Amino acid sequence: MKSLELMVERIILASRWILVVFLLGLAVALGVYAVSFLYKLAKIAGGMFTLSDSEMILAMLGLVDSALVASLLVMVMISSYENFVSRFDQGGDDVSFLGKLNVGSLKIKVASSIVAISSIHLLQIFLNAPQYDNEKIMWVTIVHIAFVASALILGYLEQIMSKLK
């Protein structure tokens, strides 16, 4: 019976390597998103003399939004690998942040990133308010408030959990 238990434990531990497929997929998605970012940047650069101030601000907010989403992907890839698959071999590189993103801090950082992305999206909608009906603006604002409340609750829960340790 003990050998069966050991075999099950080894299979479960080895299955964490399946996560690598998902993380590599996220790396590919990040590359695709980088190409999309460069395309958006080229469009903005091509129209820099014809875009109005508000159009330029909206375009810049779109780029900031893209950068936040890309950062979120990197954060999830690195911390997921580090926490669930294996430790990185640093090999002399100065990557001092490795090992500091545990599951709790990752949740807070992901929630904060989602709030920041939602804030930018909401600001873009407010800057283009005439193009949206009041009901859509209301629902986007409610969803944003839900993201903010969730991030605050996660932060509070993480604070409680760190005191219990």
Burial category of 45 from C-beta neighbours within 10 Å (exposed 0-12, middle 13-18, buried 19 and up): exposed
Q: Which residue has the tokens 């810049």?
A: 60
Domain region containing 69: 2-164
Give the per-residue pLDDT at 96.
59
How many structural domains are present in the chain? 1
Based on its alpha-carbon atoms, the radius of gyration of the chain, rounded to whole angstroms, reads 21
Find out whether 155 and 108 touch, Cβ atoms under 8 Å: yes
| C-beta neighbour count of 144 within 10 angstroms | 19
User: pLDDT tens digits for the chain (165 residues)?
Assistant: 788 888 898 999 889 899 999 999 999 999 999 999 999 999 999 988 888 887 888 888 889 989 988 988 988 888 888 877 887 776 556 565 555 666 667 778 888 888 988 998 898 888 888 888 889 999 999 999 999 999 899 888 888 877 776
- Whole-structure pTM value: 0.72
Q: Which residue has the tokens 């434990």?
A: 9
